[in-house]
Structures are given as C-alpha cells and as structure tokens.
Amino acid sequence: MLLITIVIAQILDPLRILLVGIAYFLSLRVKRPGVGWLGLLAAIVIIAIGYPFVVLGQSGEIAGMSGAVGVISNALIAGAVAGLLRLQRRFWR
C-alpha cells in the first residue's frame, strides 16, 4: 500500500509534471532519430533519482524507494503527456 501511495503522490506533484513535460518537449526538438528518446529516458531517471534528495530533502531508505518508484511515475507522466499531445494533434490540426 505504501508504494501505491508514493506513486499517486508523485504523479500528482506539479513540479515533477513540469520537469518531465519539459524533458518530453525537449526530446521532440532533437533532429537525430533515437537520440531524443535516449535523452528522455536519461531525464526520467535523473529526475526520479534527484528529486527526492534535492527538492524534498529526503535521505536514506525512503529517498531510495522514492527514487526507484519515481522512474515508474515519471514514465507514466511522460506517457500521459505523449498521449495528450497525440490527441491534440489529431483533433486540432
């Protein structure tokens, strides 16, 4: 139950959504194929691991668990951003 609570709290965090959204839109600007997704993956991992330590000030086992679960949360956020962008392109262009 604790992991589900952490995932929900991370998915609803506005700063995390903003950081992952910026990383997603920057990955779209890359010209070489495949490099954008590699950069997005690196950004997802860096945000997930660095966020509990830097922004929340956590340490120890809780920060490690938050970082590990953060990768899943960030991937879900990036997927939601990609889905919303695809819907926007389909219906408004």
The predicted model scores a pTM of 0.87
Domain residue extents for the chain: 2-92
pLDDT (tens digit, 0 to 9) for every residue of the chain, 93 residues total?
578 888 898 999 999 999 999 999 999 998 888 888 999 999 999 999 988 888 877 888 888 888 889 999 999 999 999 999 999 989 987
Q: For residue 79, give Cα distances in angstroms to 19, 33, 53, 83.
A: 14, 19, 24, 6
- What local confidence, expressed as pLDDT, does residue 1 receive? 58
Q: What are phi and psi for residue 14, nearest 5 degrees?
A: -65, -35
Q: What is the DSSP string of 9-62?
A: HHHT-HHHHHHHHHHHHHHHT--STTHHHHHHHHHHHHHHHHHHHHTS---THH
